[in-house]
Amino acid sequence: MELPLDYETLKVIWWGLVGILLIGFAVTDGYDLGTATLLPFVAKTDRERRLIINAIAPTWEGHQVWFITAGGALFAAWPFVYAISFSGFYLAMFVVLAALILRPVGFKYRSKLESPRWRSTWDWALFIGGAVPALIFGVALGNVLQGVPFSIDTTLRATYDGGLLGLLNPFALLTGLVSVAMLVMHGAAYLGTKIEHGVVLDRAVAAGRWAALALVVLYAVAGVWLALSVAGFRIDGVIDAGGPANPLRKEVSIAVGAWMDNYSRYPWMIIAPALGFAGAVLAWRMLGRKPGLAMLGSGLSIAGVIGSVGASMFPFLLPSSKMPAASLTVWDSSSSHLTLFIMLIAVVVFLPIVLLYTSWVIKVLWGRVTTDEANSPGHY
> Any bridge partners for residue 85, and if so which?
none
- Please tell me the pTM assigned to this model: 0.94
- pLDDT the model gives residue 4: 86
- pLDDT the model gives residue 33: 95
Q: Is 234 helix (H, G, I), strand (E, B) or coil?
A: strand
CA–CA separation, 284 vs 86, rounded Å?
36
- pLDDT the model gives residue 1: 67
- pLDDT the model gives residue 72: 87
Residues of the chain falling short of pLDDT 70? 1
8 Å CB contact between 84 and 150: yes
Q: Which residues, at least 6 apart from 348, have a Cβ–Cβ distance to it below 8 Å?
A: none
